[in-house]
Structure 1
Amino acid sequence: MTEVRVPAGWPATPEAARAEQDRLRPLVDLVGPGPTAPRLVAGLDVAYAEDGDRLAAAVVVLDAASLTVVDAAVAVGRVAFGYVPGLFAFRELPALLDALDRLTAPPDLLVCDGHGLAHPRRFGLACHLGVLTGLPAIGVGKTPLTGTWDPPASPRGSWSDLRDGADTVGRVLRTRDGVKPVFVSVGHRMGLDNATDQVLALSPDYRLPETTRAADRMCRQALAGQVGRVSPR
Protein backbone atom coordinates (compact mmCIF):
# COMPACT_ATOMS: atom_id res chain seq x y z
CA MET A 1 0.00 0.00 0.00
CA THR A 2 1.10 3.53 -0.73
CA GLU A 3 -0.39 6.80 0.46
CA VAL A 4 -3.09 8.18 -1.83
CA ARG A 5 -2.46 11.54 -3.45
CA VAL A 6 -5.44 13.80 -4.04
CA PRO A 7 -5.41 15.04 -7.66
CA ALA A 8 -4.52 18.67 -8.29
CA GLY A 9 -7.62 20.79 -8.61
CA TRP A 10 -9.81 18.39 -6.64
CA PRO A 11 -12.89 20.30 -5.39
CA ALA A 12 -12.31 21.78 -1.95
CA THR A 13 -15.72 23.28 -1.28
CA PRO A 14 -19.32 22.04 -1.57
CA GLU A 15 -19.98 24.65 -4.23
CA ALA A 16 -17.08 23.44 -6.36
CA ALA A 17 -18.11 19.80 -5.90
CA ARG A 18 -21.70 20.47 -6.95
CA ALA A 19 -20.44 22.34 -9.99
CA GLU A 20 -18.32 19.31 -10.91
CA GLN A 21 -21.33 17.03 -10.57
CA ASP A 22 -23.32 19.36 -12.82
CA ARG A 23 -20.51 19.32 -15.40
CA LEU A 24 -20.21 15.54 -15.48
CA ARG A 25 -23.87 14.51 -15.11
CA PRO A 26 -24.73 14.99 -18.83
CA LEU A 27 -21.99 12.50 -19.73
CA VAL A 28 -23.70 9.60 -17.94
CA ASP A 29 -25.06 6.82 -20.17
CA LEU A 30 -28.17 5.45 -18.43
CA VAL A 31 -29.24 3.23 -21.33
CA GLY A 32 -26.36 0.84 -21.90
CA PRO A 33 -27.29 -1.94 -22.31
CA GLY A 34 -23.83 -2.87 -20.97
CA PRO A 35 -22.15 -6.28 -20.89
CA THR A 36 -24.64 -9.11 -20.40
CA ALA A 37 -21.92 -11.71 -19.85
CA PRO A 38 -18.95 -9.86 -18.30
CA ARG A 39 -15.86 -11.97 -17.78
CA LEU A 40 -14.31 -9.94 -14.97
CA VAL A 41 -16.35 -7.95 -12.47
CA ALA A 42 -14.88 -5.58 -9.88
CA GLY A 43 -16.28 -4.81 -6.46
CA LEU A 44 -15.38 -1.47 -4.88
CA ASP A 45 -15.72 -0.52 -1.23
CA VAL A 46 -14.23 1.89 1.30
CA ALA A 47 -13.71 1.55 5.05
CA TYR A 48 -12.98 4.37 7.48
CA ALA A 49 -10.77 4.48 10.53
CA GLU A 50 -12.49 5.21 13.85
CA ASP A 51 -11.33 8.82 13.80
CA GLY A 52 -12.97 9.26 10.38
CA ASP A 53 -9.88 10.95 8.96
CA ARG A 54 -8.33 7.98 7.16
CA LEU A 55 -9.77 5.48 4.76
CA ALA A 56 -8.87 2.35 2.85
CA ALA A 57 -10.30 1.73 -0.61
CA ALA A 58 -10.37 -1.75 -2.10
CA VAL A 59 -11.04 -2.99 -5.62
CA VAL A 60 -11.40 -6.75 -5.97
CA VAL A 61 -11.80 -8.35 -9.40
CA LEU A 62 -13.75 -11.61 -9.59
CA ASP A 63 -14.14 -14.11 -12.38
CA ALA A 64 -17.85 -13.71 -13.09
CA ALA A 65 -18.37 -17.42 -13.77
CA SER A 66 -16.63 -18.89 -10.73
CA LEU A 67 -16.75 -15.82 -8.41
CA THR A 68 -13.11 -16.40 -7.48
CA VAL A 69 -10.68 -13.51 -6.97
CA VAL A 70 -8.31 -12.93 -9.89
CA ASP A 71 -6.88 -9.53 -8.94
CA ALA A 72 -7.13 -6.94 -6.18
CA ALA A 73 -5.59 -3.71 -4.98
CA VAL A 74 -6.00 -1.38 -2.03
CA ALA A 75 -5.14 2.26 -1.40
CA VAL A 76 -5.02 4.04 1.94
CA GLY A 77 -4.95 7.72 2.73
CA ARG A 78 -6.74 10.65 4.25
CA VAL A 79 -10.26 11.56 3.20
CA ALA A 80 -10.23 13.95 0.26
CA PHE A 81 -13.31 15.98 1.17
CA GLY A 82 -15.43 16.87 4.15
CA TYR A 83 -18.64 15.08 5.05
CA VAL A 84 -21.43 16.73 3.03
CA PRO A 85 -24.66 14.87 2.19
CA GLY A 86 -24.92 14.24 -1.54
CA LEU A 87 -21.18 14.75 -2.06
CA PHE A 88 -19.84 11.62 -0.40
CA ALA A 89 -18.10 10.41 -3.57
CA PHE A 90 -15.62 13.27 -3.34
CA ARG A 91 -14.26 11.77 -0.12
CA GLU A 92 -13.59 8.38 -1.68
CA LEU A 93 -12.90 8.77 -5.39
CA PRO A 94 -9.15 9.56 -5.25
CA ALA A 95 -8.48 6.38 -3.28
CA LEU A 96 -10.75 4.23 -5.44
CA LEU A 97 -9.19 5.56 -8.65
CA ASP A 98 -5.73 4.91 -7.21
CA ALA A 99 -6.65 1.30 -6.47
CA LEU A 100 -8.19 0.83 -9.92
CA ASP A 101 -4.99 2.11 -11.53
CA ARG A 102 -2.99 -0.65 -9.82
CA LEU A 103 -5.02 -3.55 -11.17
CA THR A 104 -3.40 -5.88 -13.67
CA ALA A 105 -6.72 -7.43 -14.76
CA PRO A 106 -8.99 -4.64 -16.04
CA PRO A 107 -12.64 -5.36 -15.18
CA ASP A 108 -15.56 -5.35 -17.60
CA LEU A 109 -17.98 -4.01 -14.98
CA LEU A 110 -17.72 -1.99 -11.76
CA VAL A 111 -20.07 -2.83 -8.88
CA CYS A 112 -20.00 -0.05 -6.32
CA ASP A 113 -21.06 -0.28 -2.71
CA GLY A 114 -23.29 2.76 -3.10
CA HIS A 115 -25.61 4.34 -5.62
CA GLY A 116 -25.69 5.59 -9.16
CA LEU A 117 -28.78 7.38 -10.44
CA ALA A 118 -30.58 6.72 -7.13
CA HIS A 119 -28.96 9.75 -5.57
CA PRO A 120 -30.45 13.09 -4.45
CA ARG A 121 -28.53 14.88 -7.22
CA ARG A 122 -28.87 11.95 -9.68
CA PHE A 123 -25.10 11.51 -9.72
CA GLY A 124 -23.92 9.01 -7.15
CA LEU A 125 -20.59 7.25 -6.78
CA ALA A 126 -21.32 4.68 -9.52
CA CYS A 127 -22.13 7.45 -12.02
CA HIS A 128 -19.05 9.44 -11.09
CA LEU A 129 -16.71 6.44 -11.31
CA GLY A 130 -18.25 5.28 -14.56
CA VAL A 131 -17.82 8.65 -16.24
CA LEU A 132 -14.24 9.10 -15.01
CA THR A 133 -13.12 5.59 -16.01
CA GLY A 134 -15.35 5.03 -19.03
CA LEU A 135 -16.29 1.60 -17.62
CA PRO A 136 -19.81 0.22 -17.21
CA ALA A 137 -20.83 0.71 -13.58
CA ILE A 138 -23.74 -0.03 -11.27
CA GLY A 139 -24.53 0.86 -7.70
CA VAL A 140 -25.77 -1.60 -5.09
CA GLY A 141 -26.76 0.14 -1.87
CA LYS A 142 -27.66 -1.43 1.46
CA THR A 143 -29.94 1.48 2.31
CA PRO A 144 -31.60 4.10 0.08
CA LEU A 145 -30.47 7.70 -0.31
CA THR A 146 -33.63 8.90 -2.00
CA GLY A 147 -36.95 7.75 -3.36
CA THR A 148 -40.03 5.76 -2.40
CA TRP A 149 -40.92 2.15 -3.10
CA ASP A 150 -43.28 -0.67 -2.36
CA PRO A 151 -41.78 -3.76 -0.68
CA PRO A 152 -40.98 -6.41 -3.29
CA ALA A 153 -42.42 -9.89 -2.95
CA SER A 154 -40.57 -12.30 -0.68
CA PRO A 155 -38.93 -14.71 -3.20
CA ARG A 156 -35.41 -14.13 -4.47
CA GLY A 157 -35.43 -12.17 -7.71
CA SER A 158 -38.52 -10.14 -6.85
CA TRP A 159 -38.21 -6.40 -7.25
CA SER A 160 -40.12 -3.14 -7.18
CA ASP A 161 -39.40 0.24 -8.67
CA LEU A 162 -37.42 2.78 -6.69
CA ARG A 163 -39.09 6.08 -7.58
CA ASP A 164 -38.06 9.68 -7.13
CA GLY A 165 -41.09 11.75 -7.97
CA ALA A 166 -42.34 10.64 -11.36
CA ASP A 167 -39.01 8.99 -12.31
CA THR A 168 -37.79 5.44 -11.76
CA VAL A 169 -34.22 5.74 -10.47
CA GLY A 170 -33.54 2.12 -9.54
CA ARG A 171 -34.92 -1.14 -8.23
CA VAL A 172 -35.50 -2.58 -4.80
CA LEU A 173 -34.25 -6.13 -5.33
CA ARG A 174 -34.68 -9.22 -3.19
CA THR A 175 -31.49 -11.27 -3.51
CA ARG A 176 -32.46 -13.84 -0.85
CA ASP A 177 -35.88 -15.24 0.04
CA GLY A 178 -37.43 -13.17 2.80
CA VAL A 179 -34.26 -11.13 3.43
CA LYS A 180 -34.01 -7.34 3.32
CA PRO A 181 -33.63 -6.12 -0.28
CA VAL A 182 -30.78 -4.14 -1.82
CA PHE A 183 -31.11 -0.96 -3.87
CA VAL A 184 -29.82 -1.27 -7.43
CA SER A 185 -29.27 1.67 -9.75
CA VAL A 186 -27.52 2.36 -13.02
CA GLY A 187 -24.18 4.13 -12.83
CA HIS A 188 -22.88 4.36 -16.42
CA ARG A 189 -23.17 2.43 -19.69
CA MET A 190 -25.69 -0.02 -18.22
CA GLY A 191 -29.42 -0.62 -18.48
CA LEU A 192 -31.50 -1.27 -15.37
CA ASP A 193 -32.66 -4.73 -16.49
CA ASN A 194 -29.07 -5.78 -17.08
CA ALA A 195 -27.91 -4.26 -13.78
CA THR A 196 -30.57 -6.27 -11.95
CA ASP A 197 -29.52 -9.48 -13.69
CA GLN A 198 -25.85 -8.90 -12.87
CA VAL A 199 -26.57 -8.29 -9.18
CA LEU A 200 -28.57 -11.51 -8.93
CA ALA A 201 -25.81 -13.47 -10.67
CA LEU A 202 -23.25 -12.08 -8.23
CA SER A 203 -25.39 -12.90 -5.19
CA PRO A 204 -25.91 -16.68 -5.21
CA ASP A 205 -25.69 -17.22 -1.44
CA TYR A 206 -25.91 -13.94 0.45
CA ARG A 207 -27.83 -10.67 0.44
CA LEU A 208 -24.88 -8.66 -0.93
CA PRO A 209 -23.00 -9.45 -4.15
CA GLU A 210 -19.78 -11.41 -3.78
CA THR A 211 -17.98 -8.42 -5.30
CA THR A 212 -19.09 -6.20 -2.42
CA ARG A 213 -18.36 -8.84 0.21
CA ALA A 214 -14.81 -9.36 -1.08
CA ALA A 215 -14.05 -5.64 -1.30
CA ASP A 216 -15.51 -5.04 2.16
CA ARG A 217 -13.23 -7.66 3.70
CA MET A 218 -10.17 -6.28 1.98
CA CYS A 219 -10.63 -2.62 2.88
CA ARG A 220 -11.29 -3.52 6.54
CA GLN A 221 -8.15 -5.67 6.61
CA ALA A 222 -6.19 -2.86 5.01
CA LEU A 223 -7.16 -0.48 7.80
CA ALA A 224 -5.95 -3.04 10.28
CA GLY A 225 -2.60 -3.23 8.45
CA GLN A 226 -3.08 -6.80 7.34
CA VAL A 227 -2.81 -6.50 3.57
CA GLY A 228 -0.88 -4.68 0.88
CA ARG A 229 -1.00 -5.84 -2.69
CA VAL A 230 -3.02 -9.08 -2.79
CA SER A 231 -1.98 -11.83 -5.15
CA PRO A 232 -4.57 -13.61 -7.29
CA ARG A 233 -5.75 -16.98 -6.06
Structure 2
Amino acid sequence: MTVEEAIQLQLRMAHLVEHRAPEGFEPKVAAGLDVAYTSDRFIATAVCVDIATLDIVDSAVHHGVADFPYVPGLFSFRELPALLPALAKLRVTPDVLVCDGQGLAHPRRFGLACHIGVQTGLPSIGVSKQALGQYEAPGPHRGDWKPLVDNGETVGRALRTQHGVKPVFVSIGHRIDLDTATELTLKLSPRYRLPETTRAADHLGREVLAGRVGVQDVRD
Protein backbone atom coordinates (compact mmCIF):
# COMPACT_ATOMS: atom_id res chain seq x y z
CA MET A 1 0.00 0.00 0.00
CA THR A 2 1.33 3.44 -0.91
CA VAL A 3 1.21 6.42 1.42
CA GLU A 4 -1.58 8.01 -0.63
CA GLU A 5 -3.60 4.77 -0.60
CA ALA A 6 -3.20 4.57 3.18
CA ILE A 7 -4.44 8.15 3.60
CA GLN A 8 -7.47 7.47 1.42
CA LEU A 9 -8.26 4.32 3.41
CA GLN A 10 -8.21 6.32 6.65
CA LEU A 11 -10.60 8.87 5.18
CA ARG A 12 -12.98 6.12 4.05
CA MET A 13 -12.88 4.24 7.37
CA ALA A 14 -13.10 7.19 9.77
CA HIS A 15 -16.92 7.26 9.58
CA LEU A 16 -17.02 3.68 10.93
CA VAL A 17 -15.84 4.82 14.38
CA GLU A 18 -18.61 4.49 16.99
CA HIS A 19 -18.55 7.15 19.71
CA ARG A 20 -20.62 5.25 22.25
CA ALA A 21 -19.87 2.30 24.47
CA PRO A 22 -22.02 -0.84 24.11
CA GLU A 23 -25.09 -0.90 26.33
CA GLY A 24 -24.22 -2.16 29.80
CA PHE A 25 -20.48 -1.79 29.11
CA GLU A 26 -18.60 -2.92 32.23
CA PRO A 27 -15.15 -4.04 31.12
CA LYS A 28 -13.34 -6.54 33.31
CA VAL A 29 -10.18 -7.13 31.26
CA ALA A 30 -8.17 -4.54 29.37
CA ALA A 31 -5.41 -5.37 26.90
CA GLY A 32 -2.38 -3.13 26.61
CA LEU A 33 -0.72 -3.05 23.19
CA ASP A 34 2.81 -2.06 22.30
CA VAL A 35 5.37 -2.53 19.55
CA ALA A 36 9.11 -2.38 20.22
CA TYR A 37 11.61 -2.09 17.38
CA THR A 38 15.19 -2.98 16.73
CA SER A 39 16.06 -1.69 13.27
CA ASP A 40 13.13 -2.83 11.08
CA ARG A 41 12.35 -5.88 13.20
CA PHE A 42 9.58 -5.64 15.74
CA ILE A 43 8.23 -7.31 18.85
CA ALA A 44 4.49 -6.74 19.24
CA THR A 45 3.02 -7.42 22.67
CA ALA A 46 -0.53 -7.78 23.95
CA VAL A 47 -0.95 -7.99 27.73
CA CYS A 48 -4.32 -8.54 29.41
CA VAL A 49 -4.83 -6.93 32.81
CA ASP A 50 -7.66 -7.48 35.27
CA ILE A 51 -9.06 -3.97 35.70
CA ALA A 52 -10.11 -4.52 39.31
CA THR A 53 -6.85 -5.99 40.59
CA LEU A 54 -4.37 -4.90 37.87
CA ASP A 55 -3.05 -8.46 37.78
CA ILE A 56 -1.75 -9.74 34.45
CA VAL A 57 -4.03 -12.55 33.28
CA ASP A 58 -2.65 -13.28 29.80
CA SER A 59 0.02 -12.14 27.36
CA ALA A 60 1.19 -12.89 23.85
CA VAL A 61 3.95 -11.83 21.48
CA HIS A 62 4.35 -11.63 17.71
CA HIS A 63 7.62 -10.77 16.00
CA GLY A 64 8.67 -10.07 12.45
CA VAL A 65 9.86 -7.37 10.04
CA ALA A 66 8.01 -4.08 9.53
CA ASP A 67 6.92 -3.65 5.92
CA PHE A 68 5.51 -0.10 6.05
CA PRO A 69 7.73 2.95 6.62
CA TYR A 70 7.34 5.32 9.54
CA VAL A 71 5.15 8.14 8.22
CA PRO A 72 3.55 10.67 10.61
CA GLY A 73 -0.21 10.14 10.67
CA LEU A 74 0.08 6.60 9.28
CA PHE A 75 1.36 4.92 12.43
CA SER A 76 -1.35 2.25 12.34
CA PHE A 77 -0.22 0.88 8.97
CA ARG A 78 3.16 0.08 10.49
CA GLU A 79 1.88 -1.35 13.77
CA LEU A 80 -1.49 -2.97 13.00
CA PRO A 81 0.01 -5.91 11.04
CA ALA A 82 2.17 -6.62 14.10
CA LEU A 83 -0.50 -6.17 16.77
CA LEU A 84 -3.35 -8.16 15.23
CA PRO A 85 -1.44 -11.49 15.29
CA ALA A 86 -0.41 -10.84 18.91
CA LEU A 87 -4.05 -10.26 19.84
CA ALA A 88 -5.07 -13.42 18.03
CA LYS A 89 -2.72 -15.48 20.22
CA LEU A 90 -4.38 -14.41 23.49
CA ARG A 91 -6.44 -17.04 25.28
CA VAL A 92 -8.34 -14.34 27.17
CA THR A 93 -10.58 -12.09 25.09
CA PRO A 94 -10.18 -8.50 26.33
CA ASP A 95 -13.19 -6.25 26.84
CA VAL A 96 -11.28 -3.14 25.79
CA LEU A 97 -8.01 -2.31 24.04
CA VAL A 98 -5.66 0.38 25.35
CA CYS A 99 -3.27 1.71 22.73
CA ASP A 100 -0.09 3.65 23.38
CA GLY A 101 -1.07 6.19 20.74
CA GLN A 102 -3.88 8.28 19.33
CA GLY A 103 -7.51 7.59 18.52
CA LEU A 104 -9.65 10.49 17.29
CA ALA A 105 -6.78 12.86 18.14
CA HIS A 106 -5.47 12.44 14.62
CA PRO A 107 -5.43 14.67 11.51
CA ARG A 108 -8.00 12.43 9.80
CA ARG A 109 -9.68 11.31 13.05
CA PHE A 110 -8.45 7.76 12.55
CA GLY A 111 -5.41 6.98 14.65
CA LEU A 112 -4.15 3.58 15.74
CA ALA A 113 -6.79 3.14 18.48
CA CYS A 114 -9.57 3.80 15.95
CA HIS A 115 -8.07 1.54 13.31
CA ILE A 116 -7.53 -1.46 15.59
CA GLY A 117 -10.94 -0.95 17.20
CA VAL A 118 -12.77 -0.92 13.88
CA GLN A 119 -10.68 -3.84 12.61
CA THR A 120 -11.38 -6.05 15.65
CA GLY A 121 -14.79 -4.72 16.66
CA LEU A 122 -13.54 -4.27 20.23
CA PRO A 123 -13.95 -1.07 22.27
CA SER A 124 -10.66 0.80 22.24
CA ILE A 125 -9.02 3.93 23.56
CA GLY A 126 -5.83 5.81 22.85
CA VAL A 127 -3.66 7.03 25.72
CA SER A 128 -0.70 8.96 24.37
CA LYS A 129 2.28 10.68 25.95
CA GLN A 130 2.16 13.33 23.20
CA ALA A 131 -0.61 15.77 22.33
CA LEU A 132 -2.07 16.21 18.89
CA GLY A 133 -3.90 19.50 19.15
CA GLN A 134 -4.07 22.38 21.59
CA TYR A 135 -4.99 22.33 25.26
CA GLU A 136 -4.77 24.32 28.44
CA ALA A 137 -2.87 22.74 31.29
CA PRO A 138 -5.28 20.83 33.55
CA GLY A 139 -5.31 21.40 37.29
CA PRO A 140 -2.57 19.78 39.35
CA HIS A 141 -4.69 17.03 40.90
CA ARG A 142 -5.28 13.47 39.76
CA GLY A 143 -8.41 13.41 37.60
CA ASP A 144 -8.15 17.04 36.46
CA TRP A 145 -8.52 17.45 32.72
CA LYS A 146 -8.90 19.95 29.91
CA PRO A 147 -10.24 19.46 26.37
CA LEU A 148 -7.78 18.57 23.63
CA VAL A 149 -8.82 20.56 20.55
CA ASP A 150 -7.77 20.26 16.91
CA ASN A 151 -9.11 22.65 14.26
CA GLY A 152 -11.90 23.75 16.60
CA GLU A 153 -13.03 20.17 17.35
CA THR A 154 -12.65 18.42 20.69
CA VAL A 155 -10.71 15.27 19.92
CA GLY A 156 -9.73 14.14 23.42
CA ARG A 157 -8.61 15.25 26.86
CA ALA A 158 -5.38 16.22 28.56
CA LEU A 159 -5.77 14.15 31.73
CA ARG A 160 -3.76 14.35 34.93
CA THR A 161 -3.37 10.77 36.16
CA GLN A 162 -1.05 11.65 39.06
CA HIS A 163 -0.75 14.76 41.19
CA GLY A 164 1.78 17.19 39.76
CA VAL A 165 2.82 14.84 36.93
CA LYS A 166 2.57 15.70 33.22
CA PRO A 167 -0.81 14.79 31.72
CA VAL A 168 -1.54 12.02 29.26
CA PHE A 169 -3.76 12.54 26.23
CA VAL A 170 -6.86 10.38 26.05
CA SER A 171 -8.98 9.96 22.94
CA ILE A 172 -11.63 7.45 21.96
CA GLY A 173 -10.76 4.72 19.53
CA HIS A 174 -13.98 2.83 18.83
CA ARG A 175 -17.19 1.83 20.61
CA ILE A 176 -16.54 4.07 23.61
CA ASP A 177 -17.24 7.61 24.76
CA LEU A 178 -14.77 10.12 26.15
CA ASP A 179 -16.14 10.07 29.70
CA THR A 180 -15.80 6.28 29.86
CA ALA A 181 -12.33 6.41 28.30
CA THR A 182 -11.26 8.96 30.91
CA GLU A 183 -12.66 6.91 33.79
CA LEU A 184 -10.99 3.75 32.50
CA THR A 185 -7.63 5.49 32.11
CA LEU A 186 -7.76 6.63 35.73
CA LYS A 187 -8.69 3.13 36.94
CA LEU A 188 -5.70 1.71 35.11
CA SER A 189 -3.31 4.39 36.40
CA PRO A 190 -3.50 4.25 40.21
CA ARG A 191 0.22 4.78 40.83
CA TYR A 192 1.97 5.99 37.69
CA ARG A 193 1.43 8.42 34.84
CA LEU A 194 0.79 5.70 32.26
CA PRO A 195 -1.85 2.95 32.51
CA GLU A 196 -0.70 -0.41 33.87
CA THR A 197 -1.73 -1.96 30.55
CA THR A 198 0.74 0.23 28.65
CA ARG A 199 3.48 -0.30 31.23
CA ALA A 200 3.05 -4.09 31.17
CA ALA A 201 3.05 -4.33 27.37
CA ASP A 202 6.11 -2.07 27.11
CA HIS A 203 7.95 -4.03 29.81
CA LEU A 204 7.27 -7.37 28.12
CA GLY A 205 8.53 -6.07 24.78
CA ARG A 206 11.74 -4.79 26.35
CA GLU A 207 12.30 -8.08 28.17
CA VAL A 208 11.93 -10.07 24.96
CA LEU A 209 14.21 -7.71 23.01
CA ALA A 210 16.84 -7.97 25.75
CA GLY A 211 16.64 -11.77 25.69
CA ARG A 212 15.54 -12.01 29.32
CA VAL A 213 12.24 -13.57 28.22
CA GLY A 214 12.01 -15.96 25.29
CA VAL A 215 9.18 -15.54 22.83
CA GLN A 216 8.29 -19.21 23.39
CA ASP A 217 7.56 -18.33 27.02
CA VAL A 218 4.74 -15.98 26.05
CA ARG A 219 2.99 -18.10 23.44
CA ASP A 220 4.65 -17.06 20.20
- Give the shorter-chain TM-score range: over 0.9
| Stretch moving more, 13-22 or 103-112 | 13-22
Query: Is 1:37 matched with 2:23?
Result: no
Q: 2:175 aligned with 1:175, yes or no?
A: no
User: Does residue 83 of structure 2 align to residue 96 of structure 1?
Assistant: yes
Counterpart of 1:117 in 2: which secondary structure?
A: coil
1:135 paired residue number: 122
Letter in 2 for 1:14: V
Aligned residue in 2 for 1:188: 174
Q: Could you list the runs of 5+ residues in structure 2 that have no partner in the other structure?
A: none
Q: Aligned equivalents of 1:175 and 1:124: distance in 2?
A: 22
Instruction: Give the aligned residue type for 1:38.
Output: P
In structure 1, the partner of 2:7 is 18
Q: Kindly provide the CA deviation profile for residues 205-228 of structure 1, in whole angstroms up to 9, marking residues without a partner as x.
A: 000000000000011122223232
The CA deviation at 1:35 is 6.3
Paired residues of 2:141 and 2:164 also in contact (CA < 8 A): yes
CA distance, structure 2, for counterparts of residue 228 and residue 56 of structure 1: 9
- Which string of whole-angstrom CA distances, capped at 9 and with x for unpartnered residues, describes residues 114-169 of structure 1? 0100012211000000000000000000011x210000000000000000122100
TM-score relative to the length of structure 1: 0.90
Q: Percent identity?
A: 57
Match of 1:214 in 2: 200
CA RMSD across the alignment: 1.5
Task: Give the gaps of 5 or more residues in structure 1.
Answer: 1-10
The 3-state SS of whatever aligns with 1:197 is helix
The answer on whether the counterparts of 1:179 and 1:207 sit within 8 Å (CA) in structure 2 is: yes
Give the aligned residue type for 2:57. V
Moved over 6 A (4+): none
Corresponding residue of 1:5:
none
The 5-angstrom pairing of residues 117-132 of structure 1 reads: 117-132=104-119
1: CA distance between counterparts of 2:153 and 2:92? 36
Q: CA deviation at 1:229?
A: 4.6
